[in-house]
Structure 1
Amino acid sequence: MNIDFKMLCNQVTAVGFVPRGVVKSVLDGLIDSLKTYMEIGASVSLGEFGTFRPSFGCKSQVEEGEVGADTLRNRKIIFTPGSLLKDMINKVSIQKLDTANKNNTVPPSSGGEGGGESPDPTL
């Protein structure tokens, strides 16, 4: 599953009771600020959420004078999750889905029209 930017803004709007335009503006500002600071080589901490930092690999050179911008490679951004996300991932429960058992359906309610209980969808 992939959550796009629009869905994320809508969810933050629903949870935070903030207008969608404000959420989008703040997230756009955050992205621009991350870009600004990482362009100068700085790491950016977002508190318990985590830290973004730029990373560059370089081809090995024999002489110091041979090192230059053209020898940089593997430019990437590294995200290190903070305590909030580390705690969340450690508490995630994982269950195996048994696709071989075709009898995984919930039986229909008994008792005729309107007289029975509805099946529990969580079972």
Structure 2
Amino acid sequence: MPVFYKVVKIKTPLSKDGKKEMYYPRVASRKKEGINDLAERISDVSSFNKGDVIGILEVFTQLIPTLLKNNTSVELGELGTFSLHISAEGVDEEEKVNRYRIKKSKIAFRPSNRLKNELNTIDYRKIPK
């Protein structure tokens, strides 16, 4: 199934060639599937019933933040790894580095090589005007 994209015009004040606006592709017509949808799909291809799968997925979504707060990266086999990263204010002396310099935490996802290779085979198609 193809991934559709649309063309958007974006202002680029720092463009090297002096152009003020450039055109870029952006993914369009994105669908969304929730836990119920995933549970139904998993149930269809396995021996687990939908209710059991929903329960497991709900626990899974609660467990990930707990593990990240405990400084644990979560590796999901052929899918990839979730890990915690921080952004902080830089200082000129090592002694000035402390927890108050940390401005925000974010969750990073690093896809596995298999997943990256799968994504290299996407059929992109432009949405007609």
* Pair in the same fold by TM > 0.5: yes
Q: Tell me the amino acid that sits aligned with residue 16 of structure 1.
A: S
Alignment partner, residue 86 of structure 1: 116
Q: Which has the higher helix share?
A: 1
Give deviations 1:14-52, integer Å, cap 9, x for gaps: 222311121112112222332222112221111111000
Structure 2 residues without counterparts, runs of 5 or longer: 1-30
Give deviations 1:82-123, integer Å, cap 9, x for gaps: 133212211222233444xxxxxxxxxxxxxxxxxxxxxxxx
Alignment partner, residue 13 of structure 1: 43
Q: Output aligned runs, 1:23-102, within 5 Å.
A: 23-99=53-129
Identity of aligned residues (%): 25
Q: Tell me the amino acid that sits aligned with residue 42 of structure 2.
A: V
Residue 98 to residue 63, structure 1, CA distance change in 2 (3 Å): closer
TM-score normalised by structure 1 residue count? 0.68
Structure 1 residues without counterparts, runs of 5 or longer: 100-123
Relative contact order: is structure 1 or structure 2 higher (C-alpha 8 Å, sep ≥ 6)?
Answer: 2
RMSD value, Cα:
1.9
